Amino acid sequence: MSKFRDIDESFNGRNFDREIVVLCVRCYPRYKLSFRALAKMMVERGLSLAHTTIMR
């Protein structure tokens, strides 16, 4: 029995594709970007979302 959940179970019920979530989570601490900067990055990729969505 593993302590960690399956990676696919972590994304169940999410509104956005797994790649988008992983990209935001990866960029936030690595490049020290703000939530608003991440939201602007996603707009450039054709995805409209609020900075509070990333924060959650």
Q: Indicate whether 1 belongs to any domain.
A: no
Better-predicted residue by pLDDT, 52 or 3: 52
Q: Indicate whether 33 belongs to any domain.
A: yes
CB proximity list for 27: less than 8 A, separation 6 or greater: 33, 38, 41
* pTM of this structure: 0.64
**Is the CB of residue 7 less than 8 Å from the CB of residue 18?**
no
The string of pLDDT tens digits covering residues 10-25 is: 777 777 777 887 888 8
Q: Indicate whether 47 belongs to any domain.
A: yes
Does pLDDT of 1 surpass 60? no
Domain that residue 51 falls in: 16-55
Chain centroid to Cα 24, Å, comes to: 4
> How much is the pLDDT for 18?
78
> How much is the pLDDT for 55?
79
Q: Indicate whether 43 belongs to any domain.
A: yes
**Is the CB of residue 42 less than 8 Å from the CB of residue 21?**
no
Please count the structural domains in the chain: 1
Using the 8-state DSSP alphabet, how is residue 44 labeled? Answer: H
